């Protein structure tokens, strides 16, 4: 079975945000998969996807602080500046962290570790909603086949 779906994520302020619940709520089809994979592709070049700590919010603020040091706004060597001082650093952060994830699925659930969650790294100061394309592949659960 293959399923592909576009998910619109709500607009968020700059920073790292847990999106696991928002994503899974928009994927009722996930429950149909007994064993498989879910691939997540963020269709933007100034935001990122990653998996990290889901319990302590200071991890998210520390991630933001670290990446702001790594790719600061207003660096004199940036040439791509016409979209604002936050744009080039956003591209660097997106390039380092990536825009895709693949997560195993078992019994209709993402197989994230106990302390893991899906992160949206929002790297622009005033971004809108973000679009995520989710492609799920797997063996359909017996309960769904009988229904």
pLDDT score at 143: 62
For residue 64, give the nearest of 25, 139, 120, 24 by alpha carbon.
Answer: 120
pLDDT given for residue 141 in this prediction: 82
Domains observed in the chain: 2-74+81-146 (2.60.120.460)
Q: Which residues, 6 or more positions from 55, have their beta carbon under 8 angstroms from its beta carbon?
A: 115
Largest pairwise CA distance in the chain: 63
Tell me the average pLDDT across 23-50.
97
User: How confident is residue 142, by pLDDT bands cut at 50, 70 and 90?
Assistant: confident
| Mean pLDDT value across the chain | 95
In this predicted structure, the answer to whether residue 147 has a pLDDT above a threshold of 70 is no
pLDDT in tens, 87-135: 999 999 999 999 999 999 999 999 999 999 999 999 999 999 999 999 9
Q: Do residues 42 and 104 make contact, with C-beta atoms less than 8 angstroms apart?
A: no
Question: In sequence order, what are the residues at sequence separation of 6 or more whose Cβ sits closer than 8 angstroms to the Cβ of residue 40?
Answer: 23, 49, 100, 101, 102, 103, 118, 132, 133, 134
Q: Is 145 a residue whose pLDDT tops 70?
A: no
């Amino acid at each position: 079975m293959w399923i592909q779906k576009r998910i619109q994520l709500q607009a968020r302020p700059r920073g790292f945000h847990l999106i696991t619940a928002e994503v899974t709520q928009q994927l009722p089809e996930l429950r149909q998969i007994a064993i498989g994979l879910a691939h997540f592709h963020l269709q933007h070049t100034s935001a990122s996807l990653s998996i990290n700590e889901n319990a302590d919010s200071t991890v998210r603020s520390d991630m933001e602080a670290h990446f702001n040091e790594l790719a600061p706004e207003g660096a004199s060597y940036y040439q791509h500046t016409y979209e604002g001082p936050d744009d080039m650093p956003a591209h660097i952060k997106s390039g380092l962290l990536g825009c895709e994830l693949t997560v195993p699925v078992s019994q209709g659930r993402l197989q994230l570790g106990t302390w893991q969650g899906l992160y949206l790294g929002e790297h622009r100061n005033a971004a809108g909603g973000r679009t995520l394309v989710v492609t799920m592949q797997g063996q359909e659960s017996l309960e769904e086949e009988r229904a």
